[in-house]
Amino acid sequence: MVTTTYQVQGMTCGHCVSSVSAEVGAIPGVSDVQVDLATGRVTVTSESPLNTDTVRAAVDEAGYDLVGA
């Protein structure tokens, strides 16, 4: 299992958290997504390292921006 932390910009409430969790959680191989609304940190647990572009696309699909990475 691999755990990677991403920084997501634009989340403001619990709905944002569930949107991001749902989109990122739908990426194949992802087993867990933890979102910290206060800091914008999204911690993703997956079977193998994820392609950052894949995560970026999922976050973008949810309506938010992946910062850095």
Smallest gap from residue 29 Cβ to Cu ion (A): 26
Cα 35 from Cα 17, distance rounded (Å): 6
Query: From the list 3, 4, 7, 12, which residue makes contact with Cu ion (rule: CB under 5 A)?
Result: 12
16 near Cu ion, rule: CB under 5 A: yes
User: In the complex with Cu ion, which residue's Cβ is closer, 15 or 28?
Assistant: 15
- Nearest Cα to 55, choosing from 37, 39, 35? 35
State whether the Cα torsion 16-20-22-23 is positive or negative. positive
Stretch that binds Cu ion, among 5-13, 34-42, 48-56, 60-68 (CB under 5 A): 5-13
Residue with tokens 């691999």: 2
Binding site for Cu ion (CB under 5 A): 12-13, 15-16
